[in-house]
Amino acid sequence: MDKDSISDVIIDIKSKRDALSLAHESLKQESDQYNKCIILLSLVNGFLETTKLKMGWDSDELALFPIFLSSLIACVSALVKFQDFPSKMEKLVQSQSMLTGVLTKMRGHSELTEDMKSEYNDCLEHLENAIYPDVRKHFLKQSHKNLIEIMKQDKKYFKEVQEIKSPDYVPSDTSSDDSNEKHSISIFNRHKNSIDRGTQTEPLEEEEIPVHFGGDV
């Protein structure tokens, strides 16, 4: 789809920047899971080694557990290194920073110039090189959905703001429960102040105190 207006380009850049952010978040979560697994296995391995020394366990079966855990830790660490999460996340961050810079520049203009189109095309190229097409499709779909929901919420918010600013706006009445609660608090505070002053107040009439137990009274 061709983007002829600057507003269309801005929205498209926002969606693609959000897609990169979602991809970065997914990679970070995956990397954190591997790191947590390594930490947990290391703690268990240390616990077993300390327990063996304190308890004086010398059986061959128990001697195999630390070897197994150490091998498992080495496997997970090698897998993390093979995935190369820092390099992938750095590439996403660089592309995201470029998109953010172009987006900030375009927000200060009202018309789409040839220079802006060239910068927009460079952004698309960085996006295409940052993540694979199938991954890009997944995160773009999610970012489009999030952006639409945000725009709907903004439209609803500004509509309600305009209604409140209108001179014909009438605020809704306070609910009966809130009014009864405020009335009860007012009666309690009035009699508490009178007791603190050492004065005697007349007993409350039964109908002055609203009582609610969630059912019939």
| Contact by Cβ (8 Å): 102, 119 | yes
Q: What is the pLDDT of residues 72-106, one digit of tens each?
A: 999 999 999 898 899 989 989 988 888 888 888 88
Identify the sign of the CA torsion 19, 25, 28, 34. Answer: negative
Q: What is the pLDDT of residues 96-147, one digit of tens each?
A: 888 888 888 888 877 877 888 888 888 888 888 888 888 888 999 999 999 8
Buried b (16+ CB within 10 A) or exposed e, 170-191: eeeeeeeeeeeeeeeeeeeeee
Q: Which long-range contacts (CB under 8 A, 24 or more apart) does 106-114 make?
A: 106/6, 106/9, 106/10, 106/13, 107/10, 109/6, 110/6, 111/6, 112/3, 112/4, 112/5, 112/6, 112/9
Q: What is the pLDDT of residues 24-57, one digit of tens each?
A: 999 999 999 999 999 999 998 888 888 888 777 7
d(C-alpha 124, C-alpha 16), whole Å: 8
Ordered by start, the domain boundaries in the chain are 6-165
Q: What is the pLDDT of residues 152-167, one digit of tens each?
A: 998 898 888 888 887 7
198: left (phi > 0), else alpha (psi -120 to 50), else beta? Answer: left
Q: How many Cα atoms occupy the beta-carbon half-sphere of 155 within 13 Å?
A: 6
The owner of tokens 């039964």 is: 206
For the whole model, what pTM was predicted? 0.68
Could you tell me the pLDDT band of residue 205, with boundaries at 50, 70 and 90?
very low
Reading the block at residue 34, the tokens are: 């591997």
